[in-house]
């Protein structure tokens, strides 16, 4: 019962912080750490018996690391890399140059037909 009450309190505080325009990524990360460590303090295992690091206070960080690896080893990492590449190309002006080169044949054909 205390687990549920604590989870609701942490979620309410996290929702309040996000509503007050705190960075959502940081708020949710801290909320996850608070919930994982409170679970440890209440006697729950955050990892299975075979997956534990041997130090219970390090296990929440292993949970987070495993979750990052699971999330970004799939299509997420590919999409993240492509968006980074597109932002860099836009920043250096390559996007504008590609548009100019690709639309040049259209402008020459339009001037011939006039």
Q: What is the pTM assigned to this prediction?
A: 0.58
Quick one: which of 87, 44, 46 has its CA closest to 64? 46
Residue 28 has pLDDT above 70, yes or no: yes
Question: Sorting pLDDT into bands at 50, 70 and 90, what band is 15?
Answer: very high
User: Which is more confidently placed, 27 or 50?
Assistant: 27
pLDDT tens-digit series, residues 42-101: 888 877 767 777 777 888 888 888 888 887 777 777 888 889 988 998 889 887 888 888
pLDDT of residue 106: 76
Residues 6+ apart with CB under 8 A from 56: 40
């Amino acid at each position: 019962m205390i687990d549920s009450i604590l989870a609701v309190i942490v979620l309410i505080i996290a929702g309040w912080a996000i509503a007050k325009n705190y960075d959502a990524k940081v708020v949710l990360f801290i909320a996850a750490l608070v919930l994982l460590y409170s679970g440890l303090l209440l006697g729950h295992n955050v990892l299975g018996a075979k997956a534990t690091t041997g130090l219970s206070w390090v296990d929440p960080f292993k949970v987070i690391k495993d979750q990052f690896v699971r999330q970004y080893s799939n299509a997420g990492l590919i999409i993240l890399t492509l968006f980074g590449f597109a932002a860099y190309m836009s920043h250096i002006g390559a996007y504008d140059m590609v548009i100019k080169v690709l639309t040049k044949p259209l402008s020459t054909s339009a001037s011939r037909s006039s």
